[in-house]
Amino acid sequence: MTYAAAGVSIEAGDELVRRIGRVAKKTKMPGLLAGVGGFSALFDLQARRYREPVLVSSTDGVGTKLKIAFATGIHETVGIDLVAMSVNDILTQGAEPLFFLDYFVCGKLDVGIAEAVIRGIARGCQQSGCVLIGGETAEHPGDFRDGEYDLAGFVVGVLEKRKILSPAAIIPGDVLIGLGSSGLHSNGYSLARKILLLRGRLKLSQRLPELGRTLGEELLTPTRIYAKTMRTVLAKWSIKGAAHITGGGIVGNLPRVLPPGARALIHRDSWPMPPIFGMIAKIGAVPREEMDRTFNNGMGMILVVGKKAADGAMRSLKQSGEKPIVIGEIRKGRRGADII
């Protein structure tokens, strides 16, 4: 018997590592000492010239959005999602992403599929301004169907200790600025798939007038990465808080950055909701409250800004190419969020 006969190909793994090395080089940045290929990676924090550096980390996956990639055979975008979910989380502290590691596990390694996923991860790192410093590829024979896999990722960032965004600074009267999402991002896919594909009997290859593209293209739209936007606004303005709107929606995520005694009031009609959310609500007869606590409904990141800084922050965001929208304000009350 051989390892290959048991379902694990050392040769395929070696070939993927060679390809990953070429892809990872495109994300190289100051501070990288050793990356893909060794037993571990090295990053020189002094290269970033921080006085009181605080490391910030987060880990996440892509979830059942991967089912859409399997069904369509399109694997180039879910890697971006993987990076986005972790990077956007550390941005809420005001951190600068430094490096990212991924974990790719499958039943039988298809080098072409894995390489496509890793290329997406590298693009996500480039969008974030961080380096793809390493990762792990594993074959688990019998655990996955052919062509299927799972992903996890881990990011490390840094910021000056004195610049950590603190909920204690948030007070009634502060303004909420919303940054639009690109669609579902990577949350709510178990419900979305059941409604659109099973109840609605829609096909992923079907071009839908409401969307202006196929359903598969819509559902595989990568999660937006807000790293460049956050760098721009944090460099000029004092941002009191930032919430990444993931599973749980606005009502579940925004309160996580609020202090006791502060309640967010969100004006539902202040931004246009992308059509995909309306389709899900209509086909699935999903109550508004369920939509609010499952999906981002068109808002991917929400910033909390002092009233005096709000106009300046809005100008900076617009100059950076963003389309910010004032979506509400902070009021006195029990910590939480209301959408009216």
pLDDT digits (tens, 9 = 90+) for 10-53: 666 666 666 766 666 677 777 766 766 667 777 778 777 888 98
What is the rounded distance in angstroms from the CA atom of residue 65 to the CA atom of residue 188? 9
Select the CATH number that applies to the domain covering 167-339 from these four: 1.10.3720.10, 3.40.50.300, 3.40.50.2300, 3.90.650.10. Answer: 3.90.650.10
Q: Looking at residue 290, what DSSP letter applies?
A: H
Q: What are the pLDDT digits (tens) for 200-241?
A: 999 999 999 999 999 999 999 999 999 999 999 998 888 999
Contact yes or no for 47/30 (Cβ under 8 A): yes
Helix 78-91 × helix 227-236 angle, to 10°: 20
- Structure confidence at residue 8 as a pLDDT band (50, 70, 90): low
- List the chain domain ranges: 10-163, 167-339
pLDDT attached to residue 42: 78
| Structure tokens given for 208 | 């839908």
DSSP 148-210: -EEEEEEEEEEEEGGG---GGG--TTPEEEEEE-SSSTTSSHHHHHIIIIIIS---TT-EETT
What is the rounded distance in angstroms from the CA atom of residue 228 to the CA atom of residue 291? 29
Q: What are the pLDDT digits (tens) for 127-182?
A: 999 999 888 888 888 888 888 999 999 999 999 999 999 888 999 999 999 999 99
Q: Considering the domain 10-163 in this protein, what is its CATH number?
A: 3.30.1330.10
pLDDT for residue 61 is more than 70: yes
pLDDT attached to residue 135: 82
What is the rounded distance in angstroms from the CA atom of residue 340 to the CA atom of residue 239? 24
